[in-house]
Amino acid sequence: MKPAGIEADLHEFATDLGKVLAEMEGADFAPRLHKKDPTLWKTEPEHCKIISNAMGWLDSPEKIKPEAAKLCEFGSELQAAGFRHVLHMGMGGSSLAPLVFSKTLGESSGGLPVTVLDSTDPATVLRFAGGLPLAETFFIEASKSGTTAESRSFGEYFFEKVQRVKASQACANFAVITDPGSMLAGLAGERTYRRTFLNYPDIGGRYSALSYFGLVPAALMQADLPEVLARTEAMIAACRIAKPLSDNPGVCLGAAMGALARRGRNKLTFLIPQPLASLGMWLEQLIAESTGKDGKGIVPVAGEPAGPPEAYGNDRLFVVFVLENKPDPAIESCREALVRAGQPVITIRMSDRLDLGRQFFLWEVATATAGAVLEINPFDQPDVQETKKFTGKILEDVRQQGRVPEAEMKLVEGPLRLYLAGGASTVRQAVSMFFEQAGAGDYFATLAYLTENEATGRGLQNVRTLVRDRLRLATTVGYGPRYLHSTGQLHKGGPNSGLFLLLTSDFGDDAPIPGQPYTFGMLMRAQALGDFEALRKHRRRVLRVHVAGQDVAKGLSLLEEIIREAVPQR
């Protein structure tokens, strides 16, 4: 592997990569990819139809480039109209690229500050409702289908809030990003929202970073879109190289991901410097939802604290990001230690943060390529609907009973409550029995239906690091319901190698959802229970722990203590 900006230390796996690249060259992979040939992945008509309708991401940066100046002008128009903030409301592919742009480029751009809401947690919703200047906030509801339950709930909640302040003028505070013909597009027209951005319909949500979904909020924060897109064009050109494929960065990276996954190195572990940390969340969704199906999958590991080489098993492929204008000596030292220890490491060098567009396109090509190597369709998500189905059944019960039906709490210790204890007589025994199921090549996923804040994040990181160090398992943390639109497909459709710890907590103040007989808290709890049932249906190893009371950090600290006592070092 020798594309510009990418280095690889693959050790004995370099031979595997060479064989895969030779096969792909013989099959004219790169030219067929850019001709949008669906048979690179599947030949069945039903798959080919899905794939053919999902390849617009390959040329969306070139299509949208002429619109970049107009998008930036729209940002200036909003500032001139007196807007001081933007709240972008979406889930998964509709929200993660805006989140990355906001966290990475927003602070120094000089435009409107953009905040992303992608949680049904009532405390989070109420914090935004109470902390934003509603009359001077511009709201974007983003949904490809236009029917996404979470973003629709956000849209109605804040439209009602702004109506109370601005009455009939509330529509001037709203825009939507959606596909042509969607219900949301019709609603925006009826209400005469300030703008409706109709995206290219042949792009799936997780491949939409370089379309209106990602670039509208980037423009409102006055990111340098012309420069971002110019650098992206250079990456597009490089990813069209047909021979040798070792010079094609996207195909070569994806071939390495797929080849090593076939050898059991399917835990793709990212080491990312802090200024780019949010990129890991976008990569999680792209890779997990694209590859986690048919019992196969690459498990993206983002946000896991860096550890010494002995903390890792032999199921990892590491990707280290280097920001050349802001070096991170700790990450560089970790990279060198991993290479010396014989771990396969890919290093990706970025000039500065404006290389984001290049990275979006690089990883889209790489993920699609890895899908071809694994012989799966990287453009569908067949198991996502299952959790929605279970959630819908629970919400129907809420409509009839006025509350979320809960199972009996079997075991109690301090603020911790356990469900379906599986024969255990104490919380500690249940935790011990859960982790005794772990084997080589497994991973530990924490699914946290908790309020996202610094104290909770620290507690979750402590738990995951402890489990990694004790059992040498790859670990992930996802906040619900965000992860349902990200890693949820992998959890249920990928290999049965996950141990899932699903965490819920009590709610304080709640918030009603206009037009619905349930609140945000009820919706969030239904989503947690729905995914719990979906995981059980797929015979996944799952333990649900509820933290009673309002001190979640205290509950996580106790859970860490119990794991420390119950799980021996391996």
Domains and CATH numbers, the chain: 6-39+242-374 (3.40.50.10490), 60-228 (3.40.50.10490), 384-566 (3.40.50.10490)
**H or E element in which residue 8 lies:** strand 6-9
Q: Residue-wise pLDDT tens for the chain (570 aa)?
A: 667 789 999 999 999 999 999 999 999 999 999 999 999 999 999 999 999 999 999 999 999 999 999 999 999 999 999 999 999 999 999 999 999 999 999 776 689 999 999 999 999 999 999 999 999 999 999 999 999 999 999 999 999 999 999 999 999 999 999 999 999 999 999 999 999 999 999 999 999 999 999 999 999 999 999 999 999 999 999 999 999 999 999 999 999 999 999 999 999 999 999 999 999 999 999 999 999 999 999 999 999 999 999 999 999 999 999 999 999 999 999 999 999 999 999 999 999 999 999 999 999 999 999 999 999 999 999 988 888 999 999 999 999 988 898 888 889 999 999 987 678 999 999 999 999 999 999 999 999 999 999 999 999 999 999 999 999 999 999 999 999 999 999 999 999 999 999 999 999 999 999 999 999 999 999 999 999 999 999 999 999 999 999 899 999 999 999 999 999 888
Q: Which parts of 271-355 fold into alpha helices (H)?
A: 279-291, 329-340
CB contact set of 95 (below 8 Å; sequence gap of 6+)? 88, 89, 116, 117, 118, 142
**H or E element in which residue 368 lies:** helix 356-374
Chain centroid to CA 473: 20
Q: What Å distances lie between residue 480 and 44, 156, 205, 209, 448, CA to CA? A: 34, 21, 18, 21, 6
pLDDT at residue number 108: 66
Q: Give, as one character, the DSSP assignment of residue 44.
A: S
Both tokens of 26, joined, read 């013989």
Q: Residue 74 and residue 496: Cα distance in Å, rounded?
A: 47
Mutual orientation of helices 520-537 and 122-131 as an angle, nearest 10°? 150
CB contact set of 413 (below 8 Å; sequence gap of 6+)? 426, 427, 428, 558, 562
Q: Residue 19 and residue 459: Cα distance in Å, rounded?
A: 44
Both tokens of 456, joined, read 């909770």
C-alpha atoms less than 13 angstroms from C-alpha of 428 in its C-beta half-sphere: 9
pLDDT at residue number 195: 98
CB contact at 8 A, 563 and 431: yes
Q: Residue 26 and residue 191: Cα distance in Å, rounded?
A: 54
Burial of 262 (0-12, 13-18, 19+ CB in 10 A): middle
C-alpha atoms less than 13 angstroms from C-alpha of 175 in its C-beta half-sphere: 22
pLDDT at residue number 109: 66
Backbone angles phi, psi at 527, to 5 degrees: -65, -40
